[in-house]
Amino acid sequence: MTDAVPDLPASLAVLGLLANCELAAFSRLAADAERAPDLAERIELARLGGEALARLERVAVRVAELDADLEQAVQPFLGTFGEFDERTPAGTWWERLLKAYVGYGVEEDLVRLLAHTVDAETRELVLDLLADDRHSALVVRALTTATDSDAVLASRLALWGRRLVGEALGVVQRVLVANPQLRALLEPALPDGDCVQQRLFAVLTGEHTRRMARLGLTA
């Protein structure tokens, strides 16, 4: 375990970033649950919030195996995506759903890329945790049902999606500026090219386009 010392900070940084995503996801899903227009959706969102916590606990177990504690790992990233939340106040229930889908999607993609550069056990855990698609499935189901019969809503949400991804990418940029070690970790995980940020944004934008397509919306 101690042989892995040079690897430790990288693994811990990625786990800390993921833990912060899960804490933020928990708060967001819990708030969404409270505002859900019907009870079935409320219960489902609350359950998804519980799943985010369950993922946080699995992150905590791995952090402990690396001889650190969860608070220590999360602290540097705390509130990282809070700025995204503040800059994009959602007006309607549909906007809220799309915001969680786009915002959490970009966060996940970033963590997934970073995971490729850390120790195998941490990588496996992170990729396994990020494979949970239930929240996306709920959003896709709810939004496609709503937009199928409402072209005006669809075009408004497409516009909102563009605003959201712009803000999310801005936050990612600031995270990388504030954490040069993450920037260095990303380098080998990205396709060839000149500038890390440009290559990263190409990947993140591609994933965003794929997610919007799942909703039948133009990115």
DSSP 191: P
Answer yes or no whether residue 26 interacts with its own copies by CB under 8 A. Answer: yes
Residue from 3, 5, 37, 39 in contact with its own copies (CB under 8 A): 39
- Angle subtended by helix axes 134-148 and 151-178, to nearest 10: 150
Q: What part of residues 127-166 is at the interface with its own copies (CB under 8 A)?
A: none
Residue from 10, 14, 33, 175 in contact with its own copies (CB under 8 A): 33
What sign for the dihedral angle of Cα 166, 112, 155, 34? Answer: negative
Answer yes or no whether residue 103 interacts with its own copies by CB under 8 A. Answer: no
DSSP 216: T
Residue from 12, 18, 56, 114 in contact with its own copies (CB under 8 A): 56
Q: Cβ of 124: how many Cβ atoms within 10 Å?
A: 12
Answer yes or no whether residue 30 interacts with its own copies by CB under 8 A. Answer: yes
Cα 107 from chain centroid (whole Å): 3
| Closer of 46 and 196 to its own copies (Cβ) | 46
Answer yes or no whether residue 54 interacts with its own copies by CB under 8 A. Answer: yes
Q: Buried b vs exposed e over 155-180: b needs ≥16 C-beta within 10 Å?
A: ebbbebbbebbebbbebbeebbeebe
- Nearest approach, Cβ of 169 to its own copies (angstroms)? 24
Residue from 7, 8, 9, 53 in contact with its own copies (CB under 8 A): 53
Tally of residues, the chain: 219
- Nearest approach, Cβ of 50 to its own copies (angstroms)? 4
Distance CA 49, CA 110 (A): 21
H/E segment holding residue 89: none
- Nearest approach, Cβ of 139 to its own copies (angstroms)? 19
Answer yes or no whether residue 16 interacts with its own copies by CB under 8 A. Answer: no
| Closer of 85 and 167 to its own copies (Cβ) | 85
Which range binds its own copies by CB under 8 A, 73-81, 90-98, 179-187, 207-215?
A: 73-81
Contact 119/157 with Cβ under 8 angstroms? Answer: no
Answer yes or no whether residue 68 interacts with its own copies by CB under 8 A. Answer: no
**In 3-state terms, what secondary structure has residue 66?**
coil
**List of residues contacting its own copies (CB under 8 A):** 23, 26-27, 30-31, 33-34, 39-40, 42-43, 46-47, 49-50, 53-54, 56-57, 70-71, 74-75, 78
